[in-house]
């Protein structure tokens, strides 16, 4: 992960970032760098991830972190997270996320999140993605934590890409962090 991005996370805790990835290997490198940097900063890491990628991410983190540091990394199955109510329903996702945060908030622990956002059908649920991203943007501001929302770039049609650019103030390109010109702030 690029140095500018890591410096941004050191300077601010309310950072909402879009990452539209093209390559799985590079994706895993970014997840690992993000998690490792967070753990080294004393943050708990919530990784909402596809179970097919989690073993590779876990193995890479395990090779770079101590056993004690690994206790700060919390894997959440993406399907369980996004479909906790039986369907992709943003208010239910928000309730699930807030329930996950309770133990960290009670301990006044700092944390970061990485959310791998996926859907099963070929049809993009644009209104649901827009609602979800609005909720996340408000949560990032209210709870003051960094969050990267990762999407498979090959699945992003122009309309959904524009919505994502409107809902994320920052964009992680493969090797740089840029400010979104289209971002529209969501009130906390």
Domains in the chain and their CATH numbers? 3-179 (3.40.50.300)
Averaged pLDDT score across all residues of the chain: 89
- The yes-or-no verdict on residue 15 having pLDDT over 70 is yes
Q: In which residue are the tokens 């906790």 written? A: 84
Give every strand in the sheet of 177-179, ordered side by side: 73-77, 44-49, 111-116, 147-152, 16-21, 170-172, 177-179
Residue 38 pLDDT > 90: yes
Most confident range (mean pLDDT) of 1-15, 43-57, 87-101, 147-161 is 43-57
CA 113, CA 15: separation in Å to the nearest integer?
Answer: 10
In angstroms, the CA 27 to CA 32 distance is: 9
**pLDDT at site 1:** 67
77-122: pLDDT as tens digits: 998 888 877 777 788 888 999 999 999 999 999 999 999 998 766 5
pLDDT for res 120: 66
Query: Dihedral through CA 153, CA 159, CA 162, CA 166, nearest 10?
Result: -120
Cα 60 to Cα 76: distance, rounded to the nearest angstrom: 17
- CA–CA distance, 185 with 118 (Å, rounded to integer): 24
| Listed range (7-11, 110-114, 142-146) with the worst mean pLDDT | 7-11
Give the per-residue SS3 of 145-156.
CCEEEEEEHHHC
Q: Rounded distance, CA 127 to CA 134, Å?
A: 11
pLDDT higher than 90, residue 169: yes
Joined tokens for residue 164: 């994502």
pLDDT in the model for residue 181: 85
| Contacts of range 52-59, beta carbons closer than 8 Å, 24 or more positions apart | 53/24, 53/27, 53/28, 53/116, 56/28, 57/28, 57/31, 57/32
Distance CA(114)–CA(28), nearest Å, equals: 12
């Amino acid at each position: 992960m690029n140095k500018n991005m890591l410096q941004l996370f050191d300077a601010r805790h309310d950072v909402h970032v879009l990452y539209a990835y093209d390559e799985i290997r590079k994706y895993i490198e970014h997840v690992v760098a993000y998690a490792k940097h967070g753990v080294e900063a004393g943050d708990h890491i919530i990784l909402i991830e596809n179970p097919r990628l989690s073993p590779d991410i876990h193995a890479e983190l395990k090779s770079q972190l101590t056993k004690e540091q690994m206790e700060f990394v919390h894997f959440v199955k993406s399907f369980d997270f996004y479909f906790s109510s039986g369907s992709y329903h943003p208010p239910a996702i928000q309730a699930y996320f807030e329930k996950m945060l309770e133990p960290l908030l009670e301990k006044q622990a700092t944390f970061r999140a990485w959310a791998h956002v996926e859907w099963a059908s070929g049809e993009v649920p644009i209104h649901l993605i827009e609602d979800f991203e609005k909720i996340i943007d408000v949560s990032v501001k209210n709870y003051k934590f960094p969050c990267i929302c990762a999407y498979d770039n090959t699945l992003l049609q122009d309309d959904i890409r524009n919505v994502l650019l409107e809902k994320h103030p920052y964009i992680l390109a493969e090797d740089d962090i840029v400010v979104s010109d289209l971002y529209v702030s969501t009130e906390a």
